[in-house]
Amino acid sequence: MPEDLLSPGAAAVFEPQSVSEWLRLLPFLGVLALLGYLAVRPFFPKKKQQKDSLINLKIQKENPKVVNEINIEDLCLTKAAYCRCWRSKTFPACDGSHNKHNELTGDNVGPLILKKKEV
């Protein structure tokens, strides 16, 4: 009997011969692949949020959410620009820092511009 298992044709017993046999094996192979993945997943390093993926690097970091409120009636100029890149040294007003940010990163952010309507 052990000689039969070692013969060259013995492996053919475990080989699927037709498409239908392969299709019947798919769920079993899928379960094996899932179990293998679940077994090795704890050994892979977890993805950490990278500092350069943060948008706001330094403005009001002590607050859970940065909110600035400006009344439209208080706009004394005919036009005001507000920062959307979070790099402005005069935040929330725009100081043009987005130009350097765009150049370094290939991004395309710009300011929010509020204009008074001409009457």
State pLDDT tens for residues 83-116. Answer: 988 888 998 889 998 898 888 888 888 899 888 7
Instruction: In whole angstroms, give the CA distance from residue 9 to residue 15.
Output: 10
Q: What are phi and psi of 35, to 5 degrees?
A: -65, -40
pTM: 0.49
Q: Return the higher-pLDDT residue of 47 and 21.
A: 21
Q: What angle do CA 76, 82, 87 make, to 5 degrees?
A: 140
Contact 94, 88 (CB under 8 A): yes
Least confident of 3-17, 54-68, 90-104: 3-17
In this predicted structure, what is the pLDDT of residue 27? 92
Predicted pLDDT at 78: 76
Decide: residue 34, CB within 10 A, 0-12 exposed, 13-18 middle, 19+ buried.
exposed
From residue 40, how far is each of 21, 27, 28, 102 by CA, in Å? 29, 20, 19, 40
Q: Is the pLDDT of residue 13 over 80?
A: no
pLDDT, mean over the chain: 80
Q: What is the pLDDT of residue 113?
A: 87
Decide: residue 28, CB within 10 A, 0-12 exposed, 13-18 middle, 19+ buried: exposed
Q: What percent of the chain has pLDDT over 90?
A: 17
Q: Which residue has the higher pLDDT, 22 or 94?
A: 94
Residues catalogued as catalytic:
65
Alpha-carbon distance 99 to 85, whole Å?
10
Question: What's the pLDDT score for residue 4?
Answer: 54
